Amino acid sequence: MVKLENEADFLMFVAKELGADISELAPNTEFRSLSTWSSLNALYLITRISEEQEVFITSSELAKCNNLKDIHTMILSKTAANQ
Give the Cα separation of 29 and 10 in Å (integer): 13
pLDDT for position 27:
97
pTM, 2 dp: 0.93
**The CATH fold of domain 7-82:** 1.10.1200
Q: How do residues 2-36 score in pLDDT, each as one tens digit?
A: 788 899 999 999 999 999 999 999 999 999 999 99
Evaluate if residue 51 carries a pLDDT over 80.
yes
Evaluate if residue 55 carries a pLDDT over 80.
yes
Give the Cα separation of 71 and 31 in Å (integer): 10
Give the Cα separation of 26 and 24 in Å (integer): 7
Q: Structural domain boundaries of the chain?
A: 7-82
pLDDT for position 47:
96
Give the Cα separation of 41 and 37 in Å (integer): 6
Radius of gyration of the chain (CA): 12
Q: How do residues 66-78 score in pLDDT, each as one tens digit?
A: 999 999 999 999 9
